[in-house]
């Protein structure tokens, strides 16, 4: 299921321009981080989740709202 915002708009990154390629590359790297943990080790899963979230926040300039 594709994400849509409240206005019903969804992302489309099927193009081959530099920005679309870079966004796909960053998301692919985040997926590797999330999937790259030992599924039988809770600490490994916690590390992967924390690292993946921080990776996405850093690369998309998202800051915590407090």
Joined tokens for residue 50: 């924390």
Distance CA 23, CA 6 (A): 22
pLDDT in tens, 38-60: 889 999 999 999 999 999 999 99
Reported as a pLDDT band with limits 50, 70 and 90, residue 65 is: low
Residue by residue, DSSP assigns 18-46 as HHHHHHHHHHHHHHHHHHSS-TT-HHHHH
> What DSSP string runs through 45-66?
HHHHHHHHHHHHHHHTT-----
Q: What is the pLDDT of residue 66?
A: 61
Q: Model's pTM, two decimal places?
A: 0.78
Tell me the pLDDT tens digit for each residue of 4-33: 999 999 988 888 999 999 999 999 999 999
């Amino acid at each position: 299921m594709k994400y849509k915002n409240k206005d019903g708009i969804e992302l489309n990154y099927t193009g081959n321009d530099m920005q679309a390629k870079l966004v796909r590359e960053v998301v692919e790297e985040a997926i590797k981080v999330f999937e790259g943990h030992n599924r039988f080790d809770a600490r490994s899963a916690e590390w992967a989740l924390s690292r993946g979230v921080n990776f996405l926040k850093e690369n998309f300039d998202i800051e915590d709202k407090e």
